[in-house]
Amino acid sequence: MPGVNAQTEPLKDWTPDSWQSRPARQQPAYRDRAALDAAVDQLSRLPPIVVSWEVERLREELAAAQRGERFLLQGGDCAESFDDCESGRIAQRLKILLQMSLVLVHGLKKPVIRVGRMAGQYAKPRSADTETRDGVTLPSYRGDIVNRPEFTAAAREPDPSLLLRGYERAALTINFVRALIDGGFADLHHPEYWDLGFVGHSPFKSQYERIVASVADGLEFFETISAKEVHQSLRTDFYTSHEALVLHYEQAQTRHIPRQGRWYNLSTHMPWIGMRTAEIGGAHVEYCRGIANPIGVKVGAAMDADWLQRLVTTLNPDNTPGRLALIHRFGAKDLEAALPRAIEAVRATGHSVLWICDPMHGNTENSSGGYKTRRFENILRELELSFQVHEAMGSQLGGVHVELTGEDVTECTGGARGLTDADLQRAYKSTVDPRLNYEQALELSLLVAERAGKPRRARRPR
Ligand code: PEP
Ligand code: CO
């Protein structure tokens, strides 16, 4: 069992609901206060979805990533939908993450921490509180845990009972993921379990199969010379994460763990604060400062040095390793100007963070046909530039955060198959942001593995 968090004293001026006295952006306007209170009350008595020692283990692994000893792969849907809580879809998402992590382990020669954007990623920040169609104005759709997407007054009314439905879907999802993993699905001896039906046609099939064969050879060699199976040492851990957005949901699952002497959000291992809710003095930063989980914060180009520094010192005052991950999402075109400033700003605090690149959210644009899309070349460019800038500044990129699906969708353009704007209408399924499809996700991991796995001196800018 991992050691006790370095911060053993609970914060004195913080409670799970102290966020309620701060300005809270992006919250549903619940009209039925009694129904909200009843849902929060019920949620706070239900068992937790994760446990504190798993959260502590992840924090220790993230601390290792901060030291360059591990690499984080965080990925999944932009938003999960309640309908997607279905065995095939969950297994597919797990499979692509396992395949990507195998490629990364092989290329980087270091353990990969797998964190899904799943089992709770049901709420979305929106640019406007309302949506108007044909003269009718209704609340915006904020994700399945808040309301429903159809454009009717009934569907768009924020419904507190959906907080409970979200909790149940998250629990069903993590239950299935845990059963698959404990049952051997993630065992490196059996990567064939992770095959996806349509992979037969993938341009990366043979490259991926060579990696699988090489891992199998390595395992066999190790097991031959050590005369034991490596099951235990290769046990795959899988963690969950979601944006901590709807604070009534997060508050209700915040528990005090006496053995640790701390409060934990036990709805997920690693909550993150989105870019639209990261203001100092706001409710989301207030809530997150009091929980012991590792916290991610999305960082965009609009955050100046002072803002970043206050985030770092507010959210991690004791500089606890593995506590704070800054997930930068500047966009390929702004990265070279913005990232060095961000690294300098954090350095000036004397605190360490885990740097993660989200190459998706700064690269969203509209296609010629009106689809929200992202170009694979911009995604790769942002990642590549991130590696270069961190390296040039003596810093370290410790992970990547991506939106992907195990399905064969056409939402992002480019990649080895050269998807164009005209291809997008073929299988565009996202109701929110465009995701990498299976092939693009695998291609990205192959390129990261190649890039990050090379010894420093051998690297050349692309
Ligand atoms: C997201 O991760 O889906 C998201 C909304 O990101 P950001 O807060 O970085 O815009
Ligand atoms: Co998104």
Task: Write phi, then psi, for 203 (nearest 5 degrees).
Answer: -65, -15
Q: Is the CB of 298 under 6 A from ligand 1?
A: yes
Please check the confidence at residue 284 and state whether its pLDDT lies above 90: yes
Looking from the CA of residue 124, the nearest atom of ligand 1 is 5
Looking from the CA of residue 401, the nearest atom of ligand 1 is 2
Looking from the CA of residue 274, the nearest atom of ligand 1 is 8
* Nearest ligand, measured from the Cα of 431: 2
pLDDT-based confidence at 199, cuts 50/70/90? Answer: low
pLDDT-based confidence at 462, cuts 50/70/90? Answer: very low
Stretch among 81-95, 110-124, 175-189 having the lowest mean pLDDT: 175-189
Residue 154: predicted pLDDT: 98
Average pLDDT for 364-371 = 94
115, 330, 361: residue to mutate for ligand 1 pocket, most atoms within 8 A of CB: 361
Residue 4: predicted pLDDT: 41
Average pLDDT for 368-388 = 96
Residue 217: predicted pLDDT: 78
**Rounded-to-integer distance, Cα 225 and Cα 232, Å:** 16
Q: Is the CB of 361 under 6 A from ligand 1?
A: yes
Average pLDDT for 229-239 = 67
* Nearest ligand, measured from the Cα of 434: 2
Please check the confidence at residue 286 and state whether its pLDDT lies above 60: yes
Residue 10: predicted pLDDT: 60
Rounded to 5 degrees, what angle do the CA atoms 90, 92, 93 make?
65
Cβ burial of 48 (10 Å; 0-12, 13-18, 19+) is middle
Average pLDDT for 426-442 = 93
Q: Coil, helix or strand for 273?
A: strand
**Rounded-to-integer distance, Cα 301 and Cα 197, Å:** 40
How far away, in angstroms, is 453 Cα from ligand 2 center? 28
Please check the confidence at residue 456 and state whether its pLDDT lies above 50: yes
Q: Which domains does the chain have, with CATH numbers?
A: 18-130+160-407+437-458 (3.20.20.70)
pLDDT-based confidence at 219, cuts 50/70/90? Answer: confident
How far away, in angstroms, is 322 Cα from ligand 2 center? 24
How far away, in angstroms, is 229 Cα from ligand 1 center? 41
How far away, in angstroms, is 381 Cα from ligand 1 center? 19
Length of the chain: 462
* Nearest ligand, measured from the Cα of 25: 1
How far away, in angstroms, is 160 Cα from ligand 2 center? 23
Residue 380: predicted pLDDT: 96
Looking from the CA of residue 79, the nearest atom of ligand 1 is 3
Please check the confidence at residue 6 and state whether its pLDDT lies above 80: no
Residue 202: predicted pLDDT: 73
26, 121, 241, 275: residue to mutate for ligand 1 pocket, most atoms within 8 A of CB: 275
Residue 231: predicted pLDDT: 59
How far away, in angstroms, is 153 Cα from ligand 2 center? 25
How far away, in angstroms, is 406 Cα from ligand 1 center? 20
Residue 453: predicted pLDDT: 62
Please check whether residue 216 is in contact with residue 133, taking contact to mean a CB–CB distance below 8 angstroms.
no
Q: Is the CB of 273 under 6 A from ligand 1?
A: no
Stretch among 265-269, 271-275, 326-330, 441-445 having the lowest mean pLDDT: 441-445
Average pLDDT for 240-265 = 97
Please check the confidence at residue 228 and state whether its pLDDT lies above 90: no
Residue 362: predicted pLDDT: 98
Task: Write phi, then psi, for 49 (nearest 5 degrees).
Answer: -85, -35
pLDDT-based confidence at 210, cuts 50/70/90? Answer: confident
- Taking CA atoms only, the protein residue closest to ligand 1 atom 4 is 274
- Taking CA atoms only, the protein residue closest to ligand 1 atom 10 is 275
* Nearest ligand, measured from the Cα of 432: 2
Q: What mean pLDDT, rounded, does the chain reach?
A: 91
Average pLDDT for 21-29 = 98
As a whole-number percent, the residues of the chain with pLDDT over 90 amount to: 78
Please check the confidence at residue 461 and state whether its pLDDT lies above 50: no
Beta-sheet strands, E only, within 266-335: 270-273, 295-299, 324-328
Residue 5: predicted pLDDT: 43
pLDDT digits (tens, 9 = 90+) for 399-412: 999 999 988 899 99
Please check the confidence at residue 67 and state whether its pLDDT lies above 70: yes
Residue 224: predicted pLDDT: 73
How far away, in angstroms, is 434 Cα from ligand 1 center? 12
Stretch among 219-228, 261-270, 295-304, 359-368 having the lowest mean pLDDT: 219-228
Q: Which of 332, 443, 364, 430 is nearest to 107 (CA)?
A: 443
Average pLDDT for 145-149 = 97
**Rounded-to-integer distance, Cα 146 and Cα 165, Å:** 10
As a whole-number percent, the residues of the chain with pLDDT over 70 amount to: 91
Stretch among 146-155, 217-226, 306-315 having the lowest mean pLDDT: 217-226
Residue with tokens 């004293």: 9
